[in-house]
Amino acid sequence: MNRPLHDFPGGLRLPGHKHISTSQAILRAVLPKRLYLPLHQHIGEPSETLVAPGDHVLKGQMIAKATDYVGAPVHASSSGTVVDVTLLPVPHASGLDAPTIVIETDGEDRWVDRTPITDYAQLDLSDLRNRIRCAGLVGLGGAAFPSFIKMNPGPHHRVRTLVLNGAECEPYITCDDMLMREQPQAILRGAQIMMHALQADECLVGIEDDKPQAIAAMSAAAAAFGAIEVVPVPTRYPAGGERQLIQVLTGKEVPSDGLPPDIGVVCQNVATAAALQRAIDAGEPLISRVVTVSGGGVRTPRNLEVLIGTPMHELIEQCGGYHNAAQRLVMGGPMMGFSLESDSVPVIKATNCVLSLAADELDVGHATLPCIRCGRCAEVCPASLLPQQLYWHAQAKEFDTVQSYNLFDCIECGLCSYVCPSHIPLVQYYRFAKTEIWAQERNKRKADIARQRTEFRAFRLARDKQERAARHAAKRAALKDAGAGGTRQAAIEAARERAEQKRMEQTAELNAARDAKIAEVKHAIAAQTERQEAAPTSKTVDAVTSSSNRETPDNQ
Amino acid sequence: MFAPETASPHVAQNAGVSRLMLDTLYALIPGIVIYVVYFGWGVVINIVLAITAALTAEAVMLRLRKRPLRPFLLDGSAILTAVLLALALPPLSPWWIPVLGCLLAIVLVKQLYGGLGYNPFNPAMAGYAILLISFPIEMTRWTAPNTLIEQGLGLFESLQFSLYARLPDVVTLDALTAATALDSLKTQVGLGEPVAAVRATSPIFGAAAGTGMELVSLAFLGGGLWLLYRRVIAWHIPAAMLVSLAVMAAIFWGWSPDRYASPLFHVAGGAAILGAFFIATDPVTTSTTVRGRLLFGAGCGLLTYVIRTWGGYPDGVAFAVLLMNMAVPVIDHYTRPRTYGHDTGRGS
C-alpha cells in the first residue's frame, strides 16, 4: 500500500452525492415486459440483426452480429419473442432514433446453452479474445469500447501494467463502488484473466479514497490473487479519466497522439472485469449491468442490476418514482453525461447511471457574462490546456489557432464550465469547434477528390483532341503524298503505315498515362471511403490522435 | 416531459462574477475602517462620490452601447473599481477628483474597450494615473494622520471641503496635510540624510512604515488573506509581487542601509499590500496562466520598487501595474503550460 502516487494537473474535489445511493445493496431489477435492444450500443460500426419479428429467442442468444473489427454483437437479455426491428429513440447525445430489436419477454428467462471455459490458461490467446468478442463485451465505464481490442495491444507493444479503474470520480455514480463491495472476487478473477490475455506483470486497481468499504473489500479479496494491488487514490475529479488514473498510478503520461499501450499500460473498468469473468467462467454474454439510479429527482436512489434493454422509466419506478422537483434526466454523471428527452429509452451497455436531477441541483438560471479572464478554468484543467484561450478562438471560429492550443487534447471533463464564474458553457464551444474542424476536413477531402476528377477530365479532353488532330494530319499527309504523283498506291500505303505507327505509339503512351491517373483517383477514392468509414468509430480515439498532430503556426 | 437538450456539465459552482466582486469588497472593509479612523471622513466621501460616478457612467455607457443594464450594474465590477480608485486618492480631495477619475476609469478605460472582461488596463489604476499626471497638486496633497494634527475635520466639514473647498476658519490646509512616509523619505534621503535619521526625526514614520498607513496595510493584509482562504484570488500574484518587492528592497538595503529603506518599510508602506492583494489580482488585466501570474506579480513588485526609489512619483504601484498590464499578452504567449501527453520525451 505504500506505492508512491503521482499527481495530475488541475482537477477539483466535487461534492460527491454518493451516499444517497449506497445505503442499499444492489437489487436485481424486475424483468420488463419488453426489452429494447439497440443495434448500436458501442463505439464502432452498428451491428447487423440476426433475427426477424416472430422469432423466438433465448436468454443470451446472439441477436445481432458485429459487422466490423470495431464492433460488438448484441444478445437477447431474456427469453421471448422478437416483435419488431425498427427505428426507436435510443439514449444518445444526438437524440436521433436508431435501429432497435424489440423483444416481448415470456417471463421464463430461459437460457441458451452456455459453454463455460474451465481453464482459460489452456486457451490460445486469440481464442480467448474471440470469446470476449463473442460475449459482446465492451467497456462498462461509459465509453463502450469493444474490450477484446484492448486485450490485443499488438506485437509492437509490451503491456506491463493492467490498470483497473475503480475510481468512479463522477458525482452521484456508485455502481462500481457497490460492485466492488459486493463482488470483489468476480472483479479480481476478471482482472486475472485480463492479465493473462495481455501477458501483463502487474495489475493496479485504482479506487478513490472516498470509498473505504470498496477499498477494504477489494484489498481483502486481492490478498488471494498475486500481482494485483489495490491502490487508494486521492478523490479529485477527474481521477477516473483513463489518462489521469494512469498518470496517478504510474507517473507516466499517455502521448497525446498515442494510446495507453504505447507506454505499456492497458486500462479497464472494474465492471468490465466482472463481466469478463462471467463471460469466461459462466459462458454468459453481456446482457446485464449495474446501473445507479440517483439524483434529487428520484425518491429512493439505489443501484439496480438491470437487463440491457430495460426502459429507464421502469428503473425510476422501482426506485420510488420521480420526486416533484425532478427536472432533468441524464444518462451518465452530472459532469459528462448527456440529457435525455424521454425516460422511455432503454438501458444500454454504456448506461452506468440514470440521473434525475432536481431544479436546485442544476446549473440553471445563471446569466452568461463575458469572460473575466480569471483563469480558474486553466487551474482546474486536467490536460493543462488554456480553456479560456480555446473559448476565445473557438468563438471567433479561428480553428487553426484553436488546434494550436491543443483543442483535441480536451477530454470534455466539464470542470472549466463548472468553475466558470461567468457561467460560460465552455465545453459546448469546444464540441462545436471539434465538429466544425471534422466537417472541414471531410469537405477538404471531398474537394480534393473533385479536383482530381476535374483535372482528369481536362486531361482526357485534351488527349482526345490531340488524337483527332493526329488522325487528320495523317490523312492530309497521305492525300498530299498521293497528289504529288508517283506510285500513288504505294504512297498511300506508306502514309497509312506511318500514321498507324504514330497512332499506336501515341495511344500506348496516353493509355499508360491514363491508367496511371485512373489508378491514382481510385486510390484516392478508396482512401477517402476508408477514412469516412473510420470516422464515426474514431470519434474519441482516432480523430483525436489524427487531428491533434496538425500543428499550425500560432496566430497570436 | 423533460427540458430540451442541454449539454454537460449539468452542475456548476455557485460562485458567480458578482460573488467574487462582493467578496473582494467585503475584504476591503476592515482596511477602510482603519483608514477612516486615521485619515478622516474624506475617505468615505471619496468612496461614495466614486461609486455614484462609476455606476452612472457605467449605466450611460451600457445604454449607449445597447447592452443590458441589470446584469452589468449588478456584477459589482464598477463598484469595486470605484472603491479601489477612491482608496488611492488623497482623503481630502475636491469632489471632482473622484468623480472625474471614475468617469475616466469606466468610460475611457473600461467601456470603450468593450466593458467587463475586455479592458486591457486596470481601470482604477489607469484612472488614478491620469489624475496624478493631470492634477499633481490635488493628487499629492496627502492628509496627515489624525494623531499628528490638532483637530481633524468632522463629516460635515470634510463634506464642505470636498464640495466647496471651504475649511473651518481656524484650520489651514497646511495644518491638515503632510508628505507621506514614502515621499518624505525619498526627499530627505535625496538631500543626503541617512534613512535611520530621517525615520527618527519625523512622527510621520511609524513602527514599520507610515503612521496609521501601516495599520491600514495590516488590515488590508487580513482582508487579502481572507480572499485567499475563500479562493477568490490565487496566491501567485500577491506572493510574487510582495516577494519581489521585498527582495529588491533587501538587496539595496543590504548594500547601503543609509540610502535605502528596509524591505519591511517597502512592503508595509504605501499601497504595496492593497496593490498586491486587491489591484494586481484584478483577473481581467492580469496574465491567465499560472506561470504568467508569477511573472506578472514579480514584475509589479520590481517596478514598484524601481519607481518608488528612482522615479518621480511617491508611490509606484499604479504605474507598475499598468506597465505589467501592457506586458500581459507577451507573458501569456510565452508561459503556455505543457499540455498533457505533449513533449513527454517519447515519440510515438
What is the per-residue pLDDT for A486?
Answer: 58
Find, in chain A, the residue whose alpha carbon is nearest to that of B338. A384
Long-range contacts for A146-150 (Cβ within 8 Å, ≥24 apart)? A146/A42, A146/A43, A146/A44, A146/A66, A146/A70, A146/A71, A146/A72, A147/A268, A147/A272, A147/A276, A149/A69, A149/A70, A150/A266, A150/A267, A150/A268
Chain B: closest CA distance from residue A522 (Å): 30
Q: Is the pLDDT of residue A555 over 60?
A: no
The residues, ordered by sequence, that sit 6+ positions from A390 with a Cβ below 8 Å of its Cβ are A402, A405, A407, A410, A426, A429, A430, A433
pTM of the model: 0.82
What is the per-residue pLDDT for A534?
Answer: 54
Contact call for B288 and A409, based on CB within 8 A: no
What is the per-residue pLDDT for A276?
Answer: 95
Confidence of residue A222 (pLDDT cuts 50, 70, 90): very high
A388: contact with B, CB 8 A cutoff = yes
Q: Is the pLDDT of residue A554 over 70?
A: no
Contact call for B288 and A378, based on CB within 8 A: yes
pLDDT mean over A88-104: 90
For residue A370, cis peptide bond before it (omega within 30 degrees of 0) = no
Confidence of residue A516 (pLDDT cuts 50, 70, 90): confident
Instruction: Kindly list the residues from chain A whose CB atom is less than 8 angstroms away from the CB atom of residue B10.
Output: 328, 330, 334-335, 337, 339, 357, 361-363
A338: contact with B, CB 8 A cutoff = yes
Chain A: closest CA distance from residue B291 (Å): 11
pLDDT mean over A27-55: 92
d(CA B234, CA B238): 8
Find, in chain A, the residue whose alpha carbon is nearest to that of B233. A374
Nearest to A339 among B2, B77, B336 (CB): B2
The lowest-confidence range among A409-423, A435-449, A510-524, B167-181 is: B167-181
Contact call for A342 and B284, based on CB within 8 A: no
Confidence of residue B16 (pLDDT cuts 50, 70, 90): confident
What is the per-residue pLDDT for B2?
Answer: 45
Residue A282: how many CA atoms within 13 Å on its side-chain side? Answer: 15
Question: Which three three-digit cell numbers place residue A442?
Answer: 471531410
Q: Is A28 exposed, middle or buried (0-12, 13-18, 19+ CB in 10 A)?
A: exposed
Confidence of residue A487 (pLDDT cuts 50, 70, 90): low
Cα–Cα distance list, A511 to A8, A503, A521, B186 (Å): 61, 12, 15, 92
What is the per-residue pLDDT for A548?
Answer: 41
Q: Residues B92, B177: contact at Cβ < 8 Å?
A: yes
Contact call for B71 and A369, based on CB within 8 A: yes
- Please give the backbone phi and psi of residue A303, each rounded to the nearest 5 degrees, phi first: -110, 140
The lowest-confidence range among A420-424, B7-11, B39-43, B344-348 is: B344-348
Contact call for A373 and B288, based on CB within 8 A: yes
Q: Residues B221, B238: contact at Cβ < 8 Å?
A: no
Tens digit of each residue's pLDDT (9 = 90 or more) over B267-298: 998 899 999 999 999 999 999 999 999 999 99
> Percent of chain A at pLDDT above 70?
93
Residue A209: how many CA atoms within 13 Å on its side-chain side? Answer: 9
A341: contact with B, CB 8 A cutoff = yes
What is the per-residue pLDDT for B226?
Answer: 97
Q: Is the pLDDT of residue A540 over 60?
A: no
pLDDT mean over A220-235: 92
Instruction: Kindly list the residues from chain B whose CB atom is less than 8 angstroms away from the CB atom of residue A255.
Output: 341, 344, 346-348
Nearest to A330 among B10, B12, B329 (CB): B10
Q: Residues A438, A535: contact at Cβ < 8 Å?
A: yes
- Please give the backbone phi and psi of residue A182, each rounded to the nearest 5 degrees, phi first: -95, -30
Q: Is the pLDDT of residue A135 over 70?
A: yes
Contact call for B8 and A335, based on CB within 8 A: yes
A343: contact with B, CB 8 A cutoff = yes
Q: Residues A383, B295: contact at Cβ < 8 Å?
A: no
Q: Which A-chain residues 450-479 have CB contacts (< 8 A) with chain B? A: none
Chain B: closest CA distance from residue A120 (Å): 33
> Percent of chain B at pLDDT above 70?
97
The H-or-E segment that residue A98 falls in is strand A97-105
Q: Is the pLDDT of residue A545 over 70?
A: no
Question: Which three three-digit cell numbers place residue A355?
Answer: 440521473
A255: contact with B, CB 8 A cutoff = yes
Question: What is the residue type of A294?
Answer: S
Q: Residues A73, A137: contact at Cβ < 8 Å?
A: no
A544: contact with B, CB 8 A cutoff = no
The better pLDDT of the pair A181, B201 is held by: A181
Tens digit of each residue's pLDDT (9 = 90 or more) over B254-270: 998 888 989 999 999 88
Nearest to A427 among B7, B116, B286 (CB): B7
A425: contact with B, CB 8 A cutoff = yes
Chain B: closest CA distance from residue A372 (Å): 4
What is the per-residue pLDDT for A546?
Answer: 40
The lowest-confidence range among A167-176, A458-467, B194-203, B327-336 is: B194-203
pLDDT mean over B216-227: 96
Contact call for B8 and A412, based on CB within 8 A: yes
Contact call for B9 and A417, based on CB within 8 A: yes
pLDDT mean over A305-310: 96
Instruction: Kindly list the residues from chain A whose CB atom is less than 8 angstroms away from the CB atom of residue B71.
Output: 367, 369
Contact call for B7 and A338, based on CB within 8 A: yes
Instruction: Kindly list the residues from chain B whose CB atom is less than 8 angstroms away from the CB atom of residue A406.
Output: 339, 342
Q: Is the pLDDT of residue A239 over 80?
A: yes
Chain A: closest CA distance from residue B195 (Å): 40
Chain A: closest CA distance from residue B148 (Å): 42
Instruction: Kindly list the residues from chain B whose CB atom is less than 8 angstroms away from the CB atom of residue A554.
Output: 333
Confidence of residue A308 (pLDDT cuts 50, 70, 90): very high
Confidence of residue B121 (pLDDT cuts 50, 70, 90): very high
Tens digit of each residue's pLDDT (9 = 90 or more) over A332-381: 999 999 999 889 999 999 999 999 999 888 877 778 899 999 999 999 99
What is the per-residue pLDDT for A225?
Answer: 87
What is the per-residue pLDDT for A537?
Answer: 43
> Percent of chain A at pLDDT above 90?
67
The better pLDDT of the pair B183, A260 is held by: A260
Long-range contacts for B62-69 (Cβ within 8 Å, ≥24 apart)? B62/B111, B62/B115, B65/B111, B65/B115, B67/B115
Contact call for B341 and A425, based on CB within 8 A: no
Q: Residues A426, A487: contact at Cβ < 8 Å?
A: no
Residue burial B43-53, b: 16+ Cβ < 10 Å; e: rest:
bbbbbebbbeb
Tens digit of each residue's pLDDT (9 = 90 or more) over A439-464: 998 898 899 899 999 999 999 999 99
The residues, ordered by sequence, that sit 6+ positions from B287 with a Cβ below 8 Å of its Cβ are A375, B293, B295, B296, B328, B331, B332, B335
Number of cross-chain residue pairs from A and B with Cβ atoms under 8 Å apart? 178
Find, in chain B, the residue whose alpha carbon is nearest to that of A413. B9
- Please give the backbone phi and psi of residue A139, each rounded to the nearest 5 degrees, phi first: -60, 130
3-state secondary structure of A148: helix
Residue with cell 496511371: A516
Contact call for B341 and A253, based on CB within 8 A: yes
Interface with chain B: mutation pick from A157, A381, A384, highest number of B CBs within 10 Å? A384
What is the per-residue pLDDT for A169?
Answer: 93
Q: Residues A22, A174: contact at Cβ < 8 Å?
A: yes
Contact call for A369 and B116, based on CB within 8 A: yes
Q: Is the pLDDT of residue A412 over 70?
A: yes
Q: Is the pLDDT of residue B142 over 80?
A: yes
pLDDT mean over A178-184: 95
Chain B: closest CA distance from residue A171 (Å): 10
pLDDT mean over B9-36: 91
What is the per-residue pLDDT for B203?
Answer: 78
Instruction: Kindly list the residues from chain A whose CB atom is less than 8 angstroms away from the CB atom of residue B336.
Output: 386, 405
Tens digit of each residue's pLDDT (9 = 90 or more) over A415-425: 999 999 999 99
Confidence of residue A483 (pLDDT cuts 50, 70, 90): low
Contact call for B116 and A372, based on CB within 8 A: yes
Q: What is the dihedral of CA A439, A440, A441, A446, to 10 degrees?
A: 90
Interface with chain A: mutation pick from B73, B227, B288, B333, highest number of A CBs within 10 Å? B288
Nearest to B9 among A8, A329, A418 (CB): A418
Q: Is the pLDDT of residue A2 over 70?
A: no
pLDDT, averaged across chain A: 88
Three-state helix/strand/coil letters over A412-457:
CCCHHHHHCCCCCCHHHHHHHHHHHHHHHHHHHHHHHHHHHHHHHH
A532: contact with B, CB 8 A cutoff = no
A262: contact with B, CB 8 A cutoff = yes
What is the per-residue pLDDT for A492?
Answer: 75
Q: Which A-chain residues 158-177 have CB contacts (< 8 A) with chain B? A: 171
The rounded Cα A200 to chain-centroid distance in angstroms is 24
Contact call for B7 and A372, based on CB within 8 A: no
Nearest to A375 among B2, B19, B283 (CB): B283
Contact call for B339 and A409, based on CB within 8 A: yes
Instruction: Kindly list the residues from chain B whose CB atom is less than 8 angstroms away from the CB atom of residue A382.
Output: 340
Instruction: Kindly list the residues from chain B whose CB atom is less than 8 angstroms away from the CB atom of residue A331.
Output: none
Find, in chain B, the residue whose alpha carbon is nearest to that of A376. B288
Contact call for B20 and A363, based on CB within 8 A: no
